[in-house]
C-alpha cells in the first residue's frame, strides 16, 4: 500500500480523471525540450518520405531499362541513381539525428523524472517508509525511469514514421494495382485482432516483471545491509535460498513476458511474410493476365517491404508502450502519494527557541487498524530541563520523542514547543531546533569530515575540529590513516560502535540545537566507550532541554526528572531517589537491574 493519503476515488469518473491527470503529467515532461522534440519529429518525417521515394526511383529505373537502351536512357538511369544516393544520404542523416538527439531528449526527460521522484521521496514521512521496501523504491527510480526514457524517445518517432510509411505505401500500392493492394490489406483485420489479444497478455506480464525485479532489489538490499549478521549466524545458505526464491519468481515472470512477446512479434512477422507471398503469387498471375508489368511488381514488392517496417515498428512501440506505461504507473503511484506531514499554509519560523515542550492530551497510533500507543497523554518539560524516559521495551519511549520533530503526526491532542503548536511551525525550522542521537547510528559513505559537517553544511574546518573535540572524537580521528579525510566506508563500517557514536555526537555539537533527544545513545557500547560518550553528552546537554531514553537506569540517575512509561501512560515521575523510595515501577526496574 503506497498512499499515505488517497488523492481521489478510483472508480467511475475518478478513474477517468486519474487517467487524464496522468496523461497531462506524462506530456508535461516534453515541455522543456519542445524545440528538440519538433526537430526530432521533422527528421522522422524526412526519414519516412525518403523511405517512400526510393521504391519510386527503382520503378523509374526499371521502366527505363525495359523501355530500351540509349544515351537518354542511360542519362536518366544515372540521374535517378544520383537522386536515390542523395535520398539515402538524407535518410541516413535523418536517422542519425533521431538516433542520437532523440535518445538524448529521452535521457534528459528521464533525468528530470528521476530528480523529481527523488525529491518527492525526501518529502514523504516516516509512516510511508515504515510500509515500503527500499528495493521497490529503488526500482521505481532506476528501471522504471529508463523504460520511460525509451518510450519518451521512440514512442512519437515510431508513431510518425509508421503512420507516414503505412499511408504512403498504401497510396502507392493503390495507384499501381488497387485489386492487388486490397487483397493484401485483407490481412490487416486479422493481424489487428491477433495483436490486441497478445498485447493484453504482454502488458500483464510486463507489470509482473517490474514488480518482481523490485522484490529482487529488496532482497539484495536486505541481505547485503545485514551481511555481518548473516555471516555471524552462518546463514548464507538461508539467504541464498531466499534470493533463489525471488530470482525464480522473476524468471517465471520473464518467461511469461518473453512468451507473450514471441507470440506477438513472430506472429506479426509471419503475417507480413504471408503478405509478401501473396504479392508474389497474385502479382505473377496479374503479369500473366497483363494487368501488371514487371517494374510495377518490383515496386509493389518494395512497398510491401516498407509496409513490413511500420508493422515491426508497431510491435516495437507496443513493447515500449507497455513497459513505459507500467513504469509510469509505478512512478505516478509514488508521486501521487501526498505526505501526511506538511507545512501549514501559515506556518511560522522559529526564532530563539528556549525549549519548553508540552504534550497536551496526546493520542497516537501508527495505523487506523492498530491500537493506541498513547491515549490522552499530557506532559510538560521545562526549558533547559534534563528529563529521562524509562520503561519496558516497546512501551513507546522512542515513539513519544518522534512526535516532537513531527516524524509522526498525533491523532488527537497537540504538541507544543515554547507554547506554539508544532503543526504551525515550519518543518525545517522545527527540526533544525532539535538534535537527535540514536543508538543505531547512521553514517554516510564518505570521509569523517563529511559526516561531521552533515550537522552544519557551511561549517569551517575549525568548527568541525572543535565539535569533534567536545565529542571526545578528535583523538581517534587523528589516529586514522588520513585523519579527518579518512574514508569510513558504507555506513561507517571501518569504525567501531563507539567511534561511530562519537561522530554522531560531534555532528550534533556542530548543529548546536536548543533541544536534544538521546535515544539509547550508549546502550550497546563497552564501558570505556560508554563513559567517553556519557562525558560528551553531559557537556552537550548543558543549558539545553534534554530528553534521554535509557534502559540502563544507572545512566539517568542524575536526571532532574525521570518519567516512567507503562501501557497506561505516565505511571510515575520524580528524581531517582524519590522514585526508589516510592517503591513503585521504577524501583522494581532498578532493583531488577542491580540483581543482574
Q: What is the mean pLDDT of the chain?
A: 81
**Cross-strand partners of 406:** none
pLDDT at position 233 over 70 = no
Place 2 in a pLDDT band, splitting at 50, 70 and 90: low
The model's confidence at residue 98, banded by pLDDT at 50, 70 and 90, is: confident
H-state helical runs in 458-596 = 461-470, 474-478, 497-511, 527-541, 576-582, 585-595
Kind and range of the H or E run holding 409: none
Q: 359 Cβ partners below 8 Å, 6+ apart? A: 377, 378, 379, 380, 400, 403, 413, 415
Split at pLDDT 50, 70, 90, the class of 282 is confident
Specify the pTM: 0.73
**What burial letters (b/e) apply to 346-358, b meaning 16+ CB within 10 Å?**
ebeebeebebbbb
Q: Classify 446 in phi/psi space as left (phi over 0), alpha (psi -120 to 50) or beta.
A: left
pLDDT band at 444 (very low <50, low <70, confident <90, very high): confident
Is residue 562's pLDDT more than 60?
yes
Taking the C-alpha atoms of residue 154 and residue 317, their distance in angstroms, rounded to an integer, is: 7
Q: What is the pLDDT of residues 497-510, one digit of tens each?
A: 888 888 888 888 88
Rounded to whole angstroms, the Cα distance separating 282 from 179 reads 10
Decide which of 279 and 30 is more confident.
30
Q: Is the pLDDT of residue 297 over 60?
A: yes
Q: Alpha-carbon dihedral of residues 567, 570, 571, 576, nearest 10 degrees?
A: 130
pLDDT of residue 8: 43
Sign, CA dihedral 196-200-202-206, equals positive
Residue 64: per-residue pLDDT? 62
* Each residue's pLDDT tens digit, 152-165: 877 787 788 878 87
- Which of 155, 132, 116, 151 shows the shortest CA–CA distance to 331? 116
Beta strands in 371-461 (DSSP E): 374-381, 386-390, 412-417, 420-421, 434-438
**Every domain range in the chain assigned CATH 3.40.50.300:** 357-595
Position 7 confidence tier, pLDDT thresholds 50, 70, 90: very low
**Segments of the chain assigned to CATH 1.20.1560.10:** 13-335
Band the pLDDT of 276: cuts 50, 70, 90: confident
How many C-beta atoms surround the C-beta of residue 83 within 10 A? 15
- CA–CA separation, 400 and 378 (whole Å): 11
Checking if the pLDDT of 380 tops 90, the result is: yes
Instruction: Compute and round to an integer the Cα radius of gyration of the chain.
Output: 35
Q: What is the pLDDT of residue 9?
A: 44
Written as nine digits, the cell of 175 is 495507384
Q: What is the pLDDT of residue 457?
A: 87
Helix, strand or coil for residue 571?
strand
pLDDT at 318: 74
> How many Cβ atoms from other residues are within 10 Å of residue 24's Cβ?
9
Residue ranges of the alpha helices (H) in 403-553? 427-432, 448-453, 461-470, 474-478, 497-511, 527-541
Cα 469 to the center of its chain, rounded Å: 39
pLDDT category of residue 6 using cuts at 50, 70 and 90 = very low
CATH number of 357-595: 3.40.50.300
Q: 205 pLDDT exceeds 90?
A: no
* pLDDT band for position 371 (cuts 50, 70, 90): confident
pLDDT reported for residue 16: 58
Secondary structure (DSSP) of 343-365: --TT-B---S----EEEEEEEE-
Query: pLDDT: is 467 or 7 the higher one?
Result: 467
Summarised one tens digit per residue, pLDDT across range 24-79 is 888 888 889 999 999 988 988 888 888 878 777 777 777 666 555 556 767 777 77
The answer to whether the CB of 518 falls within 8 A of the CB of 437 is yes
Average pLDDT of the residues in 146-174: 79
Q: How far is residue 464's CA from residue 455's CA, in Å, rounded to a whole number?
A: 9
Please tell me which residue, 567 or 187, carries the higher pLDDT value: 567
For the chain, the distance separating the N- and C-terminal CA atoms, rounded to the nearest angstrom, is 44
Matching CATH number, 13-335, of 3.40.630.10, 3.90.1640.10, 1.20.1560.10, 1.10.1060.10: 1.20.1560.10
**pLDDT surpassing 70 at residue 19:** no
Maximum Cα–Cα distance across the chain: 124
Rounded average pLDDT over 391-400: 87
pLDDT of 565 strictly over 60: yes
Pick the more confident residue, 34 or 176. 34
97-106, 161-170, 370-379 — most confident range: 370-379
Amino acid at each position: 500500500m503506497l498512499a499515505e493519503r488517497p488523492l481521489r476515488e478510483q472508480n467511475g469518473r475518478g478513474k477517468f480523471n486519474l487517467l487524464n491527470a496522468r496523461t497531462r503529467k506524462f506530456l508535461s515532461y516534453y515541455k522543456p525540450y519542445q524545440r528538440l522534440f519538433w526537430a526530432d519529429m521533422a527528421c522522422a518525417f524526412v526519414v519516412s518520405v525518403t523511405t517512400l521515394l526510393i521504391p519510386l526511383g527503382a520503378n523509374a529505373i526499371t521502366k527505363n531499362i525495359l523501355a530500351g537502351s540509349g544515351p537518354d536512357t542511360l542519362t536518366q538511369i544515372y540521374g535517378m541513381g544520383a537522386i536515390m544516393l542523395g535520398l539515402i544520404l538524407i535518410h541516413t542523416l535523418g536517422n542519425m539525428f533521431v538516433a542520437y538527439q532523440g535518445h538524448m531528449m529521452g535521457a534528459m526527460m528521464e533525468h528530470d523524472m528521476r530528480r523529481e521522484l527523488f525529491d518527492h521521496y525526501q518529502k514523504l514521512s516516516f509512516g510511508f517508509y515504515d510500509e515500503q521496501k527500499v528495493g521497490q523504491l529503488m526500482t521505481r527510480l532506476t528501471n522504471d525511469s529508463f523504460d520511460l526514457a525509451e518510450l519518451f524517445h521512440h514512442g512519437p518517432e515510431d508513431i510518425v514514421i509508421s503512420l507516414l510509411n503505412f499511408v504512403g505505401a498504401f497510396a502507392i500500392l493503390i495507384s499501381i494495382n488497387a485489386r492487388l493492394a486490397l487483397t493484401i490489406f485483407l490481412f490487416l483485420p486479422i493481424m489487428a485482432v491477433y495483436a490486441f489479444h497478445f498485447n493484453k497478455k504482454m502488458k500483464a506480464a510486463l507489470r509482473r516483471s517490474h514488480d518482481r525485479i523490485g522484490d529482487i532489489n529488496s532482497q539484495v538490499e536486505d541481505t547485503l545491509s545485514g551481511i555481518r549478521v548473516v555471516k555471524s549466524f552462518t546463514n548464507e545458505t538461508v539467504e541464498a535460498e531466499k534470493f533463489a526464491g525471488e530470482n525464480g519468481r522473476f524468471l517465471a515472470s520473464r518467461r511469461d513476458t518473453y512468451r507473450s512477446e514471441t507470440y506477438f512479434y513472430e506472429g506479426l512477422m509471419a503475417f507480413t511474410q504471408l503478405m509478401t507471398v501473396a504479392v508474389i503469387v497474385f502479382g505473377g498471375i496479374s503479369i500473366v493476365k497483363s494487368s501488371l508489368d514487371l517494374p510495377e511488381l518490383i515496386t509493389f514488392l518494395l512497398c510491401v517491404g516498407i509496409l513490413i517496417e511500420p508493422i515491426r515498428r508497431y510491435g516495437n512501440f507496443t513493447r515500449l508502450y507497455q513497459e513505459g506505461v507500467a513504469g509510469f504507473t509505478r512512478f505516478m503511484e509514488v508521486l501521487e502519494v501526498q505526505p501526511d506531514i506538511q507545512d501549514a499554509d501559515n506556518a511560522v519560523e522559529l526564532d530563539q527557541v528556549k525549549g519548553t515542550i508540552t504534550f497536551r492530551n496526546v493520542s497516537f497510533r501508527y495505523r487506523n487498524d492498530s491500537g493506541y500507543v498513547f491515549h490522552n497523554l499530557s506532559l510538560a518539560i521545562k526549558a533547559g530541563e534534563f528529563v529521562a524516559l524509562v520503561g519496558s521495551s516497546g512501551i513507546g519511549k522512542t515513539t513519544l520523542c518522534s512526535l516532537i520533530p513531527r516524524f509522526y503526526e498525533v491523532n488527537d491532542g497537540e504538541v507544543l514547543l515554547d507554547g506554539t503548536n508544532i503543526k504551525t511551525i515550519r518543518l525545517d525550522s522545527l527540526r533544525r531546533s532539535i538534535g537527535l542521537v540514536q543508538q543505531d547510528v547512521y553514517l554516510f559513505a564518505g570521509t569523517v569530515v563529511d559526516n561531521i559537517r552533515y550537522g552544519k553544511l557551511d561549517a569551517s574546518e575549525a568548527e568541525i575540529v572543535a565539535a569533534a573535540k567536545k565529542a571526545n572524537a578528535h583523538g581517534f580521528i587523528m589516529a586514522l590513516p588520513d585523519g579527518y579525510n579518512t574514508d569510513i566506508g558504507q555506513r561507517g563500517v571501518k569504525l567501531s560502535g563507539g567511534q561511530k557514536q562519537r561522530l554522531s555526537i560531534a555532528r550534533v555539537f556542530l548543529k548546536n540545537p536548543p533541544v536534544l533527544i538521546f535515544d539509547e545513545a550508549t546502550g550497546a557500547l563497552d564501558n570505556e566507550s560508554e563513559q567517553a560518550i556519557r562525558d560528551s553528552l553531559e557537556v552537550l546537554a548543558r543549558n539545553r532541554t534534554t530528553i534521554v531514553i535509557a534502559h540502563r537506569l544507572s545512566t539517568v540517575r542524575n536526571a532532574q526528572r525521570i518519567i516512567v512509561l507503562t501501557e497506561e501512560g505516565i505511571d510515575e515521575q520524580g528524581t531517582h531517589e524519590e522514585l526508589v523510595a516510592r517503591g513503585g515501577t521504577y524501583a522494581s526496574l532498578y532493583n531488577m537491574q542491580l540483581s543482574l
